[in-house]
Chains A and B, each alone.
Chain A
Amino acid sequence: MPAPPPDARSFLSEVVSVTPCGADGVLLALRPERALGAVRASRFFMLRREDGLSPAIPRPFSIYRQSGDSIEFLLKVMGRGTRALAACSPGQKVRTIGPLGNGWPALDGDGPPWVMLAGGVGVAPFHMAIEQALAGMDGRAPARPEQLFFLFGAANAGMLYDLAAFERLPARVFTATVDGSHGARGNVLELLSDLQRRGVIPQRVRLAACGPERMLEAVQHFADERGLECWLSLESLMGCGVGICNACPVPTKPDGPRGSWPNVKCCVEGPVFKSDEIALHA
């Protein structure tokens, strides 16, 4: 049975700061009570306040940034769980379970360029992805800045969370908003098609995407049609995050590379999947 990663633990962290971010988000910086090793981008932590204000079930969040002894999360306020976390004050303690999940594959410089597609708060796993790709992952050739295209889409400019931080990174950054309030009008895939049509981005690329399920379905379809290598970071509903509740099944492609069982657990076998392993619209 898939088990939680061997480095995952349950511990308390101290809230360092809570900073508003975009229209409905916050940056939550935590200092874990025990030192963490370097965490791979797109791994995640389950977070929960223990003072009675959080719901009983902790909520999953991608690690956004890591510096010194603190880890940072980018939260979009959705409901009870995120509201409670966004209302934390510095000095408070938060139950922290992780690091969980697998993270992105090696985003290396040895093949076609990488196009990173972020939808709304799906941007969270990309800040460290770009940093780690440039630094080199798993001993592979580091990606060069011109091999990294970061396409950030959202409903409106207020949901292009922490865009300025991405613009400071040495990658090529493009934006799209559905209401046209920032960058191109439309969604992130329309933006990609347009940039490819104009020759800004080549046809042969590798894709890494995170965002709402409907967006990921469209990205999967886009990659299938063109035969592109594609990795998806899923934001499934989770109960435990550590593989013990069976609440996070992701349907697999029949007779695909994930074996014969009809689903995999997003928390311990993901949250990153190769697009051709899973059947999002099953």
Chain B
Amino acid sequence: MAKLGVTLAGLELRNPILSASGTFGHGLEMQHFAPPGLLGGLVSKTVTLAPRPGNPNPRICETEAGLLNSIGLENRGIDYYLREIAPTLRAAECVIVTNIGGERVEDFAELAARLDAESAVDALEVNLSCPNVQGGKLPFATDPKTAEAVLRGVRAATRKPLFAKLSPNVTDIGEIARAVEAGGADAVTAVNTLLGMAVDWRSGKPGINTVMGGYSGVAVKPVALRCAWQCVKAVSIPVIGCGGVGKAEDVLEFLAVGCRAVQVGTSCFSDPSHIARLPAEIDALLEAAGFHELAARIGILQAGGGAPSCKPGVAVKA
């Protein structure tokens, strides 16, 4: 057995596998498919202050190599989450991360303040890809100043570790990563979905109701890997890779470029129990290659010149 444990923003994870927000439910819905005790952590679907009914159909459209979605952040709001879901997570045997989203800078701080006292929640992930209503509907993650302001507000409202989830739809993701680090983030999650669209050329109908939506799945892995690496180079806080992770090899690739952990999203739809088998598959790969400690595989990328600045994490017992 290779040691698979990693530390991340002060949290000890038995392995580097977390679910990605919006692809594994809000709470423990999936425990019969993937027991939390086999995972590093669970990230909730985005929770917002007010309930959001979500977008009309069709909300997804599968394309040649990936998935487009425009769910519209459907969720029942923070009151419901704190009342009905959080209490069920208190006994969960893995790290619990609540992903929060808002339309105004203050929304995030208010959500963080509401969650601060909830013992079930080990960390918050700030979804900066939500449209910024104040600033003209562009996501918070596209402007370093507002991204930093959001993190500052959240930092002031809670002592819980903060992950800042970034968007790949920017010119220089490293700049945004530096901004959220300055704002007080303890880790960066890279990345959310790519902006994409699909159309039926016969009918002219778009693949999803909002025309443009979030693109994810195997097709986005090289883009996500590049973004994650740019973040690794830009900041000294740990980076969590996300985008197109489906196989054990994918996990080790994200770690190779310097990520401390990864999130598994769209591939959960292909087989919702696979995420729980991933740690054993990673172990088998490492052992077969003669490696006994996963943490030692972090940041091994040979990038001639631009050496990753992220130090390998300290291993803990799995």
Contacts and interface: CB of A to CB of B under 8 A. Distances in A.
Interface of A: 1-4, 6, 8-10, 48, 50, 55-58, 95, 97, 236-237, 239-240, 242-247, 249, 261-263
Given A56-B267, A242-B272, A247 B85 contact: no
Given A58-B269, A237-B58, A246 B29 contact: no
Interface stretch (B66-74, B102-110, B116-124, B288-296): B66-74
A99 B67 CA distance: 24
Given A9-B273, A56-B67, A239 B60 contact: yes
Contacts, number: 105
Given A1-B27, A246-B45, 5 more contacts: A3-B28, A9-B33, A10-B274, A261-B53, A261-B76
A241 B41 CA distance: 22
B206 to A, nearest CB: 14
B272 A244 contact: yes
Interface string B48-61: 00010110011110
B23 interface: yes
Interface of B, secondary structure class, is: loop
Contacts of A48: 270-271
Nearest to B69: A247
A2 B84 CA distance: 12
A4 B32 contact: yes
A244 B51 CA distance: 17
Given A10-B273, A239-B67, A244-B272, A56 B33 contact: no
Interface of B: 22-30, 32-33, 45, 51, 53-54, 57-60, 62, 66-67, 69, 71, 74, 76, 84-85, 217-218, 266-274
Contact of B26 (A1, A4, A55, A249): A1
A133 B105 CA distance: 57
Interface of A, secondary structure class, is: loop
Contacts of A243: 25, 29
Q: Which 5 A-B pairs rank lowest in CB-CB distance, beginning with the nearest?
A: A10-B273, A3-B29, A247-B60, A240-B269, A262-B53
A95 B58 CA distance: 25
B54 A263 contact: yes
Contact of B269 (A8, A237, A239, A262): A239
